[in-house]
Amino acid sequence: MHNYQDTYRHKGQRRQLRTILEGKGIQDPVILNAIESIPRHFFLPLEFDSHAYEDKAFPIAAGQTISQPYTVAYQTRLLKVNIADKVLEIGTGSGYQAAVLSLCGADVYTIERHQELSENAAQTLRSIGLNDKIKLFVGDGTRGLSEYAPYDAILVTAGAPSVPKALVAQLKVGGRLVIPVGKSSEMQRMVRITKINDKEIQTEAFDDFSFVPLVGENGWKLND
Ligand code: SAM
């Protein structure tokens, strides 16, 4: 286990990151406070320490990425998290987004297909005292996590070819699903689906992003 320190330099860099995000239109103080208080450098390999508070995605293990802070804030805002909402995240990755959701007051369930990433994330979340608040699972999140459904909100942090029906089915009425969707694995449109009732959904489309692919039964296939 690496010995990460959270210094005044890191805290100052986080304040600057907050200002950068405000400049890009993120205004929600709950989200900004979460980003200002979570030591993002703990979620990255030690060699990225001096870059951790740049508004950029970075590589983590298993060929995956930690999302750009702006993207984390953007998706969190679209999710409209209320205190004590039960939120399912698909694509734990480093665990950073799960930590942000937790500090926004959510009861977080997060699933990752790579066991190595889930184990690393569990260790990082333990090191910042969030392990009791976030439940981690290993598996194919394109099927959702039916054992704990229904959810107030579901957040997909990998690019999907289409919206998995299993995820819509696991939303409560009034629940929100935020998911990047695109026919190319290079570019996706951010989509929010709100469950109006058991038969109706509302679909809204937002900006374009570029995520690593959502791989699984209801996502991209490994040889796509
Ligand atoms: N939320 C992460 C964070 O805060 O570091 C970033 C996630 S990264 C952009 C996308 C993650 O989705 C990768 O870790 C990838 O392994 C995972 N993933 C892809 N397909 C998945 C699936 N079917 N089920 C669960 N996780 C999946």
Contact between 78 and 97 (Cβ < 8 Å): no
> What distance in angstroms lies between residue 109's CA and the mean position of ligand 1's atoms?
13
pLDDT tens digit sequence for 11-61: 999 999 999 999 999 999 999 999 999 999 999 999 999 999 999 999 999
pLDDT tens digit sequence for 147-180: 999 999 999 999 999 999 999 999 999 999 999 9
Q: Is 67 among the catalytic positions?
A: yes
Whether residue 140 has its Cβ less than 6 Å from ligand 1? yes
Q: Where are the domains of the chain?
A: 8-209
Tokens of 209: 């992003």
Whether residue 117 has its Cβ less than 6 Å from ligand 1? yes
Terminal-to-terminal C-alpha distance of the chain:
36
Tokens of 23: 């400049």
Whether residue 160 has its Cβ less than 6 Å from ligand 1? no
> What distance in angstroms lies between residue 58's CA and the mean position of ligand 1's atoms?
13
| Residue 172 burial by Cβ neighbours in a 10 Å radius (0-12, 13-18, 19+) | middle
Architecture per CATH, domain 8-209, reads as 3-Layer(aba) Sandwich (3.40)
Give Cβ neighbours of residue 158 (< 8 Å, ≥ 6 apart).
90, 91, 180, 211, 212, 213, 214, 215, 219
